[in-house]
């Protein structure tokens, strides 16, 4: 799992942020 990698948390946070931005953009 990605969380097992040294920077897994950073990658996870970046993915969540990206998804949030995409969702915000899609909703207008």
> Tell me: the pLDDT tens digits for 1-28?
555 777 888 888 999 999 999 999 877 6
State the total domains in the chain: 1
Instruction: Look at residue 26 in the predicted model and tell me its pLDDT.
Output: 79
Q: What is the largest CA-CA distance in the chain?
A: 35
- Contact (CB, 8 A) for 9 and 3: yes
Q: How far is CA 18 from the centre of its chain?
A: 5
Write down the pTM of the prediction.
Answer: 0.55
Provide the domain limits for residue 2.
1-28
Instruction: Look at residue 11 in the predicted model and tell me its pLDDT.
Output: 87
Instruction: Look at residue 20 in the predicted model and tell me its pLDDT.
Output: 94
Instruction: Look at residue 8 in the predicted model and tell me its pLDDT.
Output: 80
């Amino acid at each position: 799992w990605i969380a097992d990698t040294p920077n897994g948390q950073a990658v996870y946070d970046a993915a969540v942020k990206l998804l949030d931005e995409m969702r915000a953009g899609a909703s207008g």
